[in-house]
């Protein structure tokens, strides 16, 4: 391995000294029936209407009051997103975990520490030229993957966030984010390393940080993806 690369991986928290491990993802856990208040087959009108034409504040208010999918039942609060609303970079994760649900901010747990290190490795920091959001705004119980219906219900909010931010580049962290943005079946291994597009905005797919915490060998691929993002943003900014 080349020493520069090793040093950079280490600085990102991706090197061999990175000790944190996320708890293994639990197998898919069915909803306890007591918290299910809307079967998945119920039509979910309303989020599109609430999001359409909304300004930033009314969008945030609509999200915090939203009860358009069953994820509303188990949340403490909806997690709208964090950062610079004029950012060139938009990172989209999957959904809040329990710490995010408690604190009302995306990526503040272990995966968030890794995301912050990844941002730092390409000269970015939370809040400055970066916005961070999720495919679903409310925490899925037991950290399970959001269901397609839940992501569909929540998608108008993400779409309106993108309309208002108008980022130069979108980074989809993990498969659910990539699928909801690209409206297609995505395999990260096949989709990473090339440019996709969301309504004319270049989009790059990479591994979710929580996945990287459990899959050490893929961390060097995440590093390649970060280099790719930085290069593409350089081009987009005309440097
Ligand atoms: N994982 C995500 O996808 N989003 C968060 O906000 C936290 C962890
Ligand atoms: Fe509404 Fe999205 Fe929360 Fe579902 S996840 S209740 S659609 S804000």
Q: Which atom of ligand 2 is nearest to the CA of 136?
A: 5
4 within a domain of the structure (yes/no): no
Cα distances from 154 to residues 132, 147, 232, in angstroms, run 16, 11, 28
Q: Give 154 Cα–ligand 2 centroid separation in angstroms.
A: 5
Domain extent at residue 134: 43-236
**Residues with C-beta less than 6 Å from any ligand 1 atom:** 93-97, 100, 106-107, 109, 111-112, 134, 210
144 in Cβ contact with 28 (< 8 Å): yes
For residue 81, what is the domain's CATH number?
3.40.470.10
**If you average pLDDT over every residue of the chain, what do you get?**
87
- Cα-Cα-Cα-Cα dihedral of 182, 111, 124, 95, to 10°? 40
93 within a domain of the structure (yes/no): yes
What integer pLDDT is reported at residue 23 of this predicted model? 37
37 within a domain of the structure (yes/no): no
pLDDT over 70 (residue 144): yes
Q: Which atom of ligand 2 is nearest to the CA of 146?
A: 5
- Cα-Cα-Cα-Cα dihedral of 87, 91, 94, 99, to 10°? -70
135 within a domain of the structure (yes/no): yes
pLDDT over 80 (residue 149): yes
H-helix or E-strand spanning residue 161: helix 148-165
Q: For 77-114, what is each residue's pLDDT tens digit?
A: 999 999 999 999 999 999 999 999 999 999 999 999 99
Which ligand sits closest to the CA of 174? 1
The total number of structural domains that make up the chain: 1
16 within a domain of the structure (yes/no): no
Q: Give 84 Cα–ligand 2 centroid separation in angstroms.
A: 22
What integer pLDDT is reported at residue 46 of this predicted model? 75
Q: For 2-36, what is each residue's pLDDT tens digit?
A: 555 555 556 566 554 333 333 333 344 343 333 33
What integer pLDDT is reported at residue 31 of this predicted model? 33
Q: Which atom of ligand 1 is nearest to the CA of 173?
A: 3
pLDDT over 70 (residue 42): no
11 within a domain of the structure (yes/no): no
Helix (H/G/I), strand (E/B), else coil: 204: strand
């Amino acid at each position: 391995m080349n020493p520069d690369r090793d040093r950079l991986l280490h600085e990102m928290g991706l090197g061999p000294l990175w000790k944190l491990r996320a708890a293994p993802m639990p197998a898919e856990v069915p909803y306890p029936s007591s918290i299910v208040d809307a079967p998945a087959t119920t039509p979910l009108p309303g989020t599109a209407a609430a999001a359409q034409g909304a300004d930033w504040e009314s969008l945030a208010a609509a999200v915090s009051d939203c009860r358009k999918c069953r994820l509303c039942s188990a949340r403490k609060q909806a997690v709208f997103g964090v950062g610079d609303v004029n950012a060139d970079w938009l990172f989209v994760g999957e959904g809040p975990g329990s710490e995010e649900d408690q604190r009302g901010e995306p990526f503040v747990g272990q995966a968030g520490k890794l995301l912050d290190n990844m941002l730092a490795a390409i000269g970015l920091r939370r809040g400055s030229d970066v916005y961070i959001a999720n495919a679903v705004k409310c925490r899925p119980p037991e950290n399970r993957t959001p269901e397609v219906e839940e992501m569909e219900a929540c998608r108008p909010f993400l779409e309106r966030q993108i309309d208002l931010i108008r980022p130069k580049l979108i980074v989809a962290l993990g498969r659910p984010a990539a699928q909801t943005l690209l409206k297609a079946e995505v395999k990260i291994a096949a989709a990473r390393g090339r440019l996709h597009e969301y309504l004319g905005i270049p989009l790059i797919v990479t591994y979710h940080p929580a996945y990287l915490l459990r899959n050490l060998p893929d961390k060097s691929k995440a590093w390649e993806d970060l280099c790719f993002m930085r290069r593409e943003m350089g081009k987009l900014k005309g440097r």
